[in-house]
């Protein structure tokens, strides 16, 4: 326990980085065992996308297909949208977990330990990305059941999944920040109802160019849209080759958007966490 005495010397920086990683991993392990012990949370997250597969894929599916043009399969179009939707819904779980921890005083215990303070937040985001991997695996299987598949080989498909997880990582930090800002799980739920329209006004369910003109730029610049279009392109699903600058550079935008979100929300969340001691 003597290492902290040499707080500002050279090797201590390296030592601290090592502890930061170790601590992050321990905290991530904590949240991941929650998933094992509370499988209802996983089921809850997947419920909406799975229902959406059935609803949009089959109930609206035939009518929607007409929008896409001759021969296009709406269910092929739909699945990448639902993958991204699930990434967005993860925000709710993150926010509720963080706000509950703060309320129960668990965070106080962590804050009196000689651990790296931001490891608590980083650990949560790592756990979220891992659990998103589970969500995606379930949805990919679901898609396979209804006839969705990728057409550009496994590497392009993995790249698409990577972009989705990259988006999830960015959303995780929005969730962490919200969890530190709101005061109760009930308040968090109210924020969560905003996620739904945000997830709809995007490429998720219909091509953006079918929306009224004034809505197009909003939907186009929605961080969700770039990832959805890029994923469709990489999977080789219809709707991938969209129109406009955004659609043509979808993969790049899907890389940059989450980076921008991270650049904004990581400092916000860490700053907010530090200010808890005021």
Nearest-approach distance from CB 19 to another protein, in angstroms: 7
- Separation in Å, CA 204 to CA 79, 85, 181, 245, 272: 9, 7, 28, 18, 32
* Contact map string, positions 19 to 38, toward another protein, x by CB under 8 A: x--xx--xx-xx--xx--xx
Residues in the chain: 278
User: Which range touches another protein (CB under 8 A), out of 54-62, 67-75, 99-107, 209-217?
Assistant: 99-107
> 238 — phi, psi (to 5°)?
-60, 150
Report DSSP state, residue 55. I
Query: Judged by CB under 8 A, which of 96, 115, 157, 229 binds another protein?
Result: 115
Q: Which is nearer to another protein, 117 or 236 (CB)?
A: 117
Q: CA 52 to CA 75: how far, in whole Å?
A: 11
| Touching another protein, residues 130-149 (CB under 8 A) | none
By rule CB under 8 A, what string of x and - marks binding of each residue 147-186 to another protein?
----------------------------------------
Cα three-residue angle 132-127-269, rounded to 5 degrees = 105
Q: 10, 14, 40, 112: which one contacts another protein (CB under 8 A)?
A: 112
Backbone angles phi, psi at 111, to 5 degrees: -75, -15
Residues 255 and 165: beta-carbon distance below 8 Å: no
Closer CB to another protein, 32 or 156, in the complex: 32
Residues that bind another protein (CB under 8 A): 1, 3-5, 7, 19, 22-23, 26-27, 29-30, 33-34, 37-38, 104-106, 108-115, 277-278
């Amino acid at each position: 326990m003597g290492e902290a005495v040499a707080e500002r010397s050279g090797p201590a920086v390296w030592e601290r980085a090592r502890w930061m990683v170790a601590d992050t991993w321990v905290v991530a392990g904590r949240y991941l065992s929650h998933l094992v012990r509370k499988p209802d949370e996983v089921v809850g997250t997947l419920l909406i996308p799975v229902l959406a597969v059935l609803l949009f894929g089959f109930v609206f599916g035939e009518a929607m297909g007409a929008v896409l043009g001759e021969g296009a399969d709406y269910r092929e179009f739909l699945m990448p949208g639902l993958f991204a939707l699930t990434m967005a819904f993860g925000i709710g779980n993150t926010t509720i977990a963080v706000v509950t921890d703060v309320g129960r005083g668990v965070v106080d215990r962590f804050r009196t330990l000689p651990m790296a303070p931001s490891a608590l937040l980083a650990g949560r985001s790592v756990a979220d990305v891992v659990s998103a991997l589970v969500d995606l695996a379930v949805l990919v299987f679901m898609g396979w059941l209804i006839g969705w598949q990728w057409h550009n080989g496994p590497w392009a498909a993995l790249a698409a999944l990577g972009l989705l997880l990259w988006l999830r990582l960015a959303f995780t930090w929005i969730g962490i920040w919200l969890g530190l800002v709101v005061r109760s799980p009930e308040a968090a739920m109210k924020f969560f109802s905003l996620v739904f329209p945000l997830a709809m006004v995007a490429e998720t369910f219909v091509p953006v160019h079918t929306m009224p003109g004034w809505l197009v730029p909003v939907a186009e610049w929605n961080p969700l849209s770039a990832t959805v279009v890029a994923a469709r392109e990489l999977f080789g699903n219809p709707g991938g080759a969209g129109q406009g600058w955004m659609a043509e550079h979808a993969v790049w935008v899907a890389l940059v958007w989450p980076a921008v979100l991270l650049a904004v929300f990581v400092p916000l969340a860490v700053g907010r966490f530090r200010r808890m001691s005021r």
